[in-house]
Copies of this chain bind each other. A is one copy, B any other.
Amino acid sequence: MEILIGIAKMNKYAMADCGDSVEVAERPRGGISAILADGQGSGKAAKITSGLVVAKAAALIAEGARDGAVARAVHDYLFTIKDGKVSSTLTIISVDLDTETLVFSRNSNCPVIIKGQYGIDIYDDAVNPIGVHRHMKPLMHQIPLEVGTIVVSYSDGIQAAGRKQGQTMEQDSILKYISDNPPEDVDYIATGILEHALELDKYRAGDDMTVVAVGVSDRDPDHKIQRISVSFPY
């Protein structure tokens, strides 16, 4: 079997820095996690905030901390270093091969969308971002790991796309990318959703935009070669 992750990310129009950060971390007891953070504001300050958030989360995951503890510790860290004055979203999507579950943790105004065997579930209960409230809990979910599953989440710039142009990002158009494609096509799903959002913004992104898509495939590649491919335009 094969876990596939596709990530597409771009800066707010005319900004040199992206306030969203994303990182992929291997889990020491097996599996892999994708971490997405959207730092408050935009530009360099937001990039530094979200960069610290995802790096701290990745380091804790590499040390074996469970995801709920990771989200809490990263909140406490941000709350401490910024004195409760700077918020960030934090979404962690983990394929945990040790427990054979899919675990996801949300501190974001954007949903986690799951396509499973019986259709699509949208997890979008209201929850606070990290960093600004003394007491913070992530919304955690754990479901059995099943072949064919696709998990998608994204940042605010996707959800709010088109707003400055008097248009609205319909969630149905996001769901269509997920329902129409197999888990092997997570790169296409992530890029497709981002490009659709960009189109709504008339190719001048109103905010930083990031899409993360995770697929669980029954493909069994020869020799089990793990691959990572990064394209970083500047």
Residues of A within 8 A of B (CB): 1-11, 18, 21-26, 28, 30-32, 47-48, 51-52, 54-56, 58-59, 61-63, 95, 97, 187, 190-191, 194-195, 198, 203, 219-221, 223-234
Contacts and interface: CB of A to CB of B under 8 A. Distances in A.
Contact of A55 (B1, B8, B25, B220): B25
Contact of A233 (B2, B11, B51, B232): B2
Contact of A6 (B31, B54, B97, B229): B229
A125 to B, nearest CB: 28
B191 A227 contact: yes
Given A97-B234, A226-B10, A28 B47 contact: yes
A194 B28 CA distance: 23
10 contacts: A3-B234, A5-B228, A6-B227, A11-B224, A23-B25, A51-B62, A191-B225, A226-B233, A227-B230, A228-B228
A186 B221 CA distance: 20
Contact of A231 (B18, B48, B198, B227): B227
Copies in the complex: 2
A224 B234 contact: yes
Contact of A234 (B2, B58, B225): B2
Contact of A232 (B5, B11, B28): B5
Contacts of A25: 23, 55
Contact of A2 (B55, B229, B232): B232
Contacts of A51: 26, 28, 62
A10 B224 contact: yes
A191 B228 CA distance: 10
A225 B9 contact: yes
Contacts of A1: 233-234
A59 B55 contact: yes
A74 to B, nearest CB: 12
A104 B146 CA distance: 41
A219 B11 CA distance: 18
A226 B7 CA distance: 8
Nearest to A11: B224
